[in-house]
Amino acid sequence: MAEKKGIIVVVSGFSGTGKGTLMKRLTAEYDRYMLSVSMTTRQPREGEVDGREYFFTTDEHFEELIREGKFIEHAGYCGHYYGTPRDFVDRNLEDGKDVLLEIEVQGALQVREIYPEALLIFVAAPSIEELKKRLNGRGTEDPETIARRLERAKEEVKYIDRYDHLLINDDLESCTRLMHEIIQSAHTAPARNTGFIQTIREDLERE
């Protein structure tokens, strides 16, 4: 077990904001971050690999894992289940890693309930016009799916002020750097250093 536990970093944002690319860049540049791989019941997109982007499974299996308490959180999104496997997160936090969860809003709020010290970051595209351009440009979803995702964005926008930070993803490099700085400064919060505070209190008692 590491001397200092890592923190959970929840990253949400409307579909198409580029948060997946941002997560990949962050984990490639800094080895202190571990990206949690979620489980989902949606179909893999072209190029997605089971166990890399997601663990793909069936509704029945997903529901069984819910009953067994294997998820930290789970949510329904556009007709499919998505959930964060518990073991991976707990193991890496103990190892002192900061664990990134790229999840939607309902899941983010569940995480905040269970881990009040989690850091919540919302990533937005510079404008809705740009968001639509990115969604259409990536060519992985049909127009009906894109429309559902934009509808979902209308719901999610209501919760942005429950997050600790809002990041505008206009440039990948600067956004990656800023996210790293935000996470590392979050480590200095007293609430995330209760072990250290306890130790110096006890040491002072003995003086």
Residue ranges binding ligand 5GP (CB under 6 A)? 15, 38, 42, 73, 75, 77, 82-84, 102-104, 106-107
CB of 170 to ligand 5GP, least distance (A): 19
Which residue is closest to ligand 5GP by CB? 107
Residue located via tokens 């600790």: 164
CB of 96 to ligand 5GP, least distance (A): 23
What CA–CA distance (Å, rounded) separates 71 from 183?
Answer: 24
CB of 31 to ligand 5GP, least distance (A): 22
Cβ proximity to ligand 5GP: between 73 and 98 the closer is 73
Amino acid, single-letter form, for residue 199: T
And the tokens for 20? 């997946």
**Which residue pairs, CB below 8 angstroms and at least 24 apart, start in 62-70?**
65/39
CB of 77 to ligand 5GP, least distance (A): 5
| DSSP SS3 for 165 | strand
Backbone phi, then psi, for 78, in 5-degree steps?
A: 50, 45
Cβ proximity to ligand 5GP: between 98 and 104 the closer is 104
Cβ proximity to ligand 5GP: between 18 and 83 the closer is 83
What letter does residue 50 receive in the DSSP assignment?
B
CB of 20 to ligand 5GP, least distance (A): 7
Cβ proximity to ligand 5GP: between 6 and 107 the closer is 107
CB of 73 to ligand 5GP, least distance (A): 6
Cβ proximity to ligand 5GP: between 72 and 183 the closer is 72
Cβ proximity to ligand 5GP: between 106 and 193 the closer is 106
Sort residue 12 into left (φ over 0), alpha (ψ -120 to 50) or beta: beta
The answer to whether the beta carbons of residues 125 and 19 sit under 8 Å apart is: no
| Helices of type H across the chain | 19-29, 59-67, 86-94, 105-114, 128-138, 143-156, 172-186, 194-206
Residues in CB range of 52: below 8 A, 6 or more apart: 37
